[in-house]
């Protein structure tokens, strides 16, 4: 599957918390480093700081969609999907989005959802990646930008970067070191995806010639 590239492709961002990666993407757009049009930000948390960041940045649609208003995860995801389709978004960027997406949502937007994870996948998937890496005793960790599929943190890998792990690291200290790299890698990978495009061969992401 080859992704077509155009400038200023419309995207939706889904976030649950502080919105640090959301802000960095919005800043990269403003500075001309990331040619996307952030048309929609969705949060499942009414008090998420990400919502205020999006409003302050002038994102056209900023929505809190309450999961408790829907019968199940699939129904909630379907409501989100309708908003994404209505905004005509080409890509979906998960920025600290803490809900596991339903299989039906992933199938609907297959190959168009990206996420960042604080570990070098396929090692240490899941919600406790930093702690798991420390317990295992790794000497290097990092972060991974990947496409989302039905397997948790299991989609094709777009980009990775590493950081050292020191003997006196705590989960908080290591996570902070990883986040420094996340904040560089995520907007850069989104920009590359839009400008350059890629194809997928098996599990491998092959970047198109620039």
Catalytic residue, chosen from 117, 146, 175, 183, is: 117
Beta partners for residue 63, in sequence order? 42
- Whether the bond between 52 and the residue before it is cis, its omega within 30 degrees of 0, is no
CA distance 38 to 54: 9
Q: Burial of 47 by CB count in 10 Å (0-12 exposed, 13-18 middle, 19+ buried)?
A: exposed
With CA atoms as reference, report the closest residue to 138 among 116, 171, 160, 115.
171
Q: What angle do CA 39, 114, 170 make, to 5 degrees?
A: 115
Residue 117 a catalytic site member? yes
Q: Would you please indicate which residues are annotated as catalytic (active-site) residues?
A: 117
């Amino acid at each position: 599957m080859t992704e077509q590239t155009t400038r200023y492709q419309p995207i939706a961002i889904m976030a649950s918390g502080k919105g640090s990666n959301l802000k960095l993407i919005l800043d990269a757009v403003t500075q001309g480093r990331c040619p996307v049009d952030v048309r929609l930000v969705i949060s499942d948390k009414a008090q998420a700081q990400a919502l205020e960041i999006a409003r302050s940045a002038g994102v056209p649609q900023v929505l809190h969609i309450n999961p408790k208003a829907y019968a199940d995860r699939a129904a909630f995801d379907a409501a989100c999907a309708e908003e994404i389709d209505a905004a005509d978004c080409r890509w979906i960027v998960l920025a600290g989005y803490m809900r596991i997406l339903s299989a039906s949502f992933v199938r609907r937007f297959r190959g168009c959802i990206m996420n960042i994870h604080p570990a070098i996948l396929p090692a240490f998937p899941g919600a406790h990646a930093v702690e798991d890496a420390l317990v295992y005793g790794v000497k290097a960790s990092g972060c991974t930008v990947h496409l989302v599929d039905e397997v948790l943190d299991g989609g094709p890998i777009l980009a990775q970067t590493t950081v050292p792990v020191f003997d006196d690291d705590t989960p908080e200290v290591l996570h902070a070191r990883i986040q420094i790299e996340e904040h560089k890698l995520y907007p850069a990978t989104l920009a590359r995806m839009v400008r350059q495009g890629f194809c997928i061969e098996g599990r491998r992401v092959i970047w198109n010639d620039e």
